Amino acid sequence: AEPILKEIFLEGSKETESGEIRASLVADTSCILGECILWEKTAQCVWWTDIDGRALFRMSTETGDIEKINMPKMVGGFCFTTQPNILLLGWEDGFQLYDWVKQEPVGDYSKGPCVNPAGLPSRLNDGRCDPTGDYFVCGAFYGNLPNCKVNVYAVTCNDGGQNKLSHQPILENIQITNSLAFDQDKMFFCDSPTKRIRVFDYQNGQIAQTSMKEIYTWPGVGFPDGSCVDSEGFLWSCIWRQGDGPGKVQRIDPSTGEVVFVVHMPDTTSRCTCCCFGGPELDILFVSTASIESDLVLEPKAGGVYAVKLPFTGKPESHFKL
């Protein structure tokens, strides 16, 4: 990975003959369900989870070294916290702090309603820390179970020096939580089977239901998956194309719903799952992908992580306050 990373950092994005901007493969990790990719500024590392593979990955962009941290359960989503080495995890069945260096939980599960009352394969899925650092917003996946509906939750820390967590639902009766991302007082969200990305007014771990606006509908096979917001407030939406051609990440103007820029996969990998901006200047877009349900003869690099240098910059990742 190291020479590729250096090339991306130095040379920037490359256009194909047809004018397409294509990412490059930087981590050939064959994740079953790579997700929730995040940039850690202090260590200049990019992190992601392989949900079905029960592992976290951490790649140094300075050396190209990749560390795989095996986990006892699925990690659907996670965020960094204000304490070194402590992550807030959305396990398959609840929220908990975790010391990734010691590889042990810190404290009890968050208190609140059961996040997957139907049990596996329903589980927590996509999550992101809000801009204030006061809340981690993370929702669930219905596990393809008939008549199963799940929720999106806001997790907070109830002070007192005990690192005690609690959570409450903020959005109910959905199937697949995706596209969770924030821009100041706005929260983006997609219930993936609907193919529609929505935006809500957001404040203090609450959304205003009446403020909901639909900003974009994916017209093709597949659906919008994870996303992030750049420094100009535009949404970068990963498209899970479900085998129907190479995946892509679309930059969407939230005020018009127009797709104004597209990053394409350089190969046949069709299931793009999540993205984040990283690098010293926050101008490298990293994209996680999945190999689940893929024909690996047709998509041999599925489950890898891709990156591209762009003429846009992201915003620093929020850290959950402890």
- Which tens digit of pLDDT belongs to each residue from 25-47? 999 999 999 999 999 999 999 99
Strands 21-22 and 259-264: parallel
pTM over 0.85: yes
pLDDT > 70: what percent of the chain? Answer: 95
Q: Could you read off the pLDDT of 257-310 as tens digits, one per residue?
A: 999 999 999 999 999 999 999 999 999 999 999 999 999 999 999 999 999 999
Element (H, E) at 5: helix 2-11
Cα–Cα dist 252/262, whole Å: 9
Q: Could you read off the pLDDT of 121-155 as tens digits, one per residue?
A: 999 999 999 999 999 999 999 999 999 999 999 99
Residue 158, pLDDT score:
87
**CA neighbor of 198 nearest in space, from 172, 150, 235:** 235
DSSP helix/strand/coil, 212:
strand
Cα–Cα dist 97/87, whole Å: 6
Mean pLDDT over 56-62 rounds to 95
| 1 has pLDDT over 50 | no
Concatenating the DSSP letter of every residue in 266-284 gives SSS--BEEEEEEESTTS-E
3-state helix vs strand vs coil in the chain, percent to 5: 5, 50, 45
2 close to 63: Cβ distance less than 8 angstroms: yes
For the record, the structure tokens of 272 come out as: 């793009």
pLDDT > 90: what percent of the chain? Answer: 91
Average pLDDT, the chain: 94
The residue ranking higher by pLDDT, 312 or 3, is: 312
What's the maximum distance between 2 C-alpha atoms anywhere in the chain?
59
How many CB atoms are located within 10 Å of the residue 193 CB? 12
Residue 224, pLDDT score:
98
Distances (CA, A) of 219 to 103, 193, 196, 288: 42, 12, 9, 22
For the record, the structure tokens of 291 come out as: 């190999």
Q: Could you read off the pLDDT of 198-232 as tens digits, one per residue?
A: 999 999 999 999 999 999 999 999 999 999 999 99
How many CB atoms are located within 10 Å of the residue 198 CB? 19
Residue 6, pLDDT score:
73
Residue 4, pLDDT score:
63
